[in-house]
Amino acid sequence: MDTIKVMIVDDIPGTREDIKRLLYFEEDIKVVGEAGDGDEAVEMAGSLKPDVILMDINMPRMNGIRASEIITMNNPDLAIVIVSIQGEMDYMRRAMAAGARDYLVKPFSSEELAGTIRKASEYSRRRLQLITGQGLSPSVPARDPGIVATFFSTKGGVGKTTAACNLAISLAQITRKKVALVDMDLQGGDISVFMNISAKGGLAEVVQEAEYADPSLLESYLCPHMSGVRVLPAPGSPEQADLITAAHAEDILKALKNSYDYVLVDTPAHINDITLACLEASDSILIVINQELPALRHAKVNMEILEKLNLTGKARLILNRFRTDGLKIKDLENHINSAVWGTLPEDIQTVSHSINKGHPFVLTRPSAEITNCFQNLASLLSTPAPPQAQKEEQAPRRSIIGRIFSF
């Protein structure tokens, strides 16, 4: 077992002692040095070569933010974790901009501290492998770009995330090709819960890399699922979500499209610049609806938005929770002025059990009717589209309001 070398930087000796006590029983973590201010930390980092530095922000002489900037420039292979009583978003942004890999707000438990140190150390080890080329698979020859399909609805609770997870797995099963699942619901994404994947940083960690869209680097951040699908989770906290821009989203999807056969994207139940970037990067836009009137009203608005963006040719309507005693499909299509591309039956028991267990039902209930419907959708999505409407003239880039509500 490799030992993680830690240096503690804090101007209060009692705080340094408290941190050492919290780490006393961690066999794989060893405190190799202490510093009382930023100047001392910069000097000791070069001589001790720790794996992780626990850096306080508010210190005399040189503060933790400035010290982190200098240490990161001089020692790019170590990880810095900012430790502070300040939990404001501005401190988080400044810490990340200075090169910190994580942020702990006092007080914290020994489990939180040790877990953060291990995660930061693993990040540095993985990044060093990428820089030196160790452990990377040989480069693959040029290939045809994959298909990006984005789930879209401004109505929450219609089943987008459930559909995204189960369709991704169905595609992997049917096509036997590479499938990536990306959670772009940055403030409240649940794909990691639905897929029972433990991930803290996800997209927020990716975009802090200078070469965040490099395929090899992206691959190291994708979490493997037992189905063969690779998952890029949403950030672990709302503060981290603010680090991601529309340009990040666009570049990441473009890179994944060049590495994967299918890239499925989940989005939030509202419109923002990141959602628009995902829609424009997509080959198919999957609009999830049901037979309830509020969902139909939102679906009609969604189609109008896509029309203003010249993206209606990519739209595919998926009718979820279909019941024979509900609104007839023909009436629904007339109301939205668009044909239903696929239907999924209502199966509350199967879906609820799947969500609560974190096991997608296409794996646990292979004979269920709803599983068969997802397999049909996967077959439809994997069938090449007719060549005529594959390319549409996209709306010119303006502000989000200007692009949707232009007249």
Domain edge (last residue) among 98, 132, 166: 132
Q: Residues 6 or more apart from 341 whose CB is under 8 A from it?
A: 286, 316, 317, 318, 380
User: Residue 283 — φ and ψ, nearest 5°?
Assistant: -90, -30
Provide the pLDDT for residue 391.
43
Provide the pLDDT for residue 139.
43
Q: Do 327 and 281 belong together in one domain?
A: yes
Q: Residues 6 or more apart from 49 whose CB is under 8 A from it?
A: 5, 75, 78
d(CA 222, CA 217): 9
d(CA 392, CA 118): 47
CATH at residue 353:
3.40.50.300
Q: Do 244 and 357 belong together in one domain?
A: yes
- Containing structural domain, residue 181: 147-404
Q: Do 121 and 194 belong together in one domain?
A: no
Asked if residue 94 is part of any domain, the answer here is yes
Which burial class, exposed, middle or buried, applies to 293 when counting CB atoms under 10 A from its CB (0-12, 13-18, 19+)? exposed
Report the percentage of the chain scoring pLDDT > 90: 56
d(CA 18, CA 8): 11
Asked if residue 368 is part of any domain, the answer here is yes
Provide the pLDDT for residue 123.
74
Question: Sign (positive/negative) of CA torsion 250, 254, 259, 260?
Answer: positive
Q: Do 391 and 242 belong together in one domain?
A: yes
Asked if residue 138 is part of any domain, the answer here is no
Q: How many DSSP H helices and E strands does the chain contain? A: 18, 13
* pLDDT confidence bin for 262, thresholds 50/70/90: very high
Provide the pLDDT for residue 140.
44
Q: Do 112 and 198 belong together in one domain?
A: no
pLDDT in tens, 318-376: 999 999 988 889 999 998 889 999 999 999 999 999 999 889 999 999 999 999 999 99
The pLDDT of 227-255, averaged and rounded, is 90
Asked if residue 32 is part of any domain, the answer here is yes
Q: Do 104 and 236 belong together in one domain?
A: no
**For residues 366 and 372, is the Cβ–Cβ distance under 8 A?**
no
**In one letter, which amino acid is 98?**
A
Angle between helices 329-336 and 293-308 (to 10 degrees): 40
Q: Residues 6 or more apart from 189 whose CB is under 8 A from it?
A: 161, 183, 233, 234, 235, 266, 268
Percent of the chain that is helix, strand, coil (3-state, to 5): 45, 15, 40
Note the pTM of the prediction, 2 decimals. 0.68
d(CA 393, CA 397): 12
Domain edge (last residue) among 84, 109, 132: 132
In the block, residue with structure tokens 């707000």: 105
Provide the pLDDT for residue 307.
92
* pLDDT confidence bin for 132, thresholds 50/70/90: low
Q: Residues 6 or more apart from 108 whose CB is under 8 A from it?
A: none
d(CA 129, CA 135): 6
d(CA 326, CA 292): 8
Asked if residue 137 is part of any domain, the answer here is no
Asked if residue 141 is part of any domain, the answer here is no
User: Residue 202 — φ and ψ, nearest 5°?
Assistant: 55, -130
Asked if residue 354 is part of any domain, the answer here is yes
Q: Which residue would you say has higher pLDDT here, 228 or 394?
A: 228
Domain edge (last residue) among 69, 97, 132: 132
Lowest mean pLDDT among 3-12, 196-205, 389-398: 389-398
**For residues 268 and 275, is the Cβ–Cβ distance under 8 A?**
yes
Provide the pLDDT for residue 141.
44
Q: Do 106 and 170 belong together in one domain?
A: no
Whether 136 has a pLDDT exceeding 50, the answer reads no
Asked if residue 95 is part of any domain, the answer here is yes
Domain count, the chain: 2
Provide the pLDDT for residue 403.
55
CATH at residue 99:
3.40.50.2300
Q: Annotate 136-165 with b (16+ C-beta within 10 A) or e (fewer).
A: eeeeeeeeeebbbbbbbbbbeebbbbbbbb
Provide the pLDDT for residue 61.
85
In the block, residue with structure tokens 């982190």: 68
Q: Do 31 and 117 belong together in one domain?
A: yes
Q: Do 103 and 189 belong together in one domain?
A: no
User: Residue 339 — φ and ψ, nearest 5°?
Assistant: -80, 150
Q: Do 127 and 154 belong together in one domain?
A: no
Q: Do 128 and 186 belong together in one domain?
A: no
Q: Do 127 and 232 belong together in one domain?
A: no
The pLDDT of 273-277, averaged and rounded, is 94
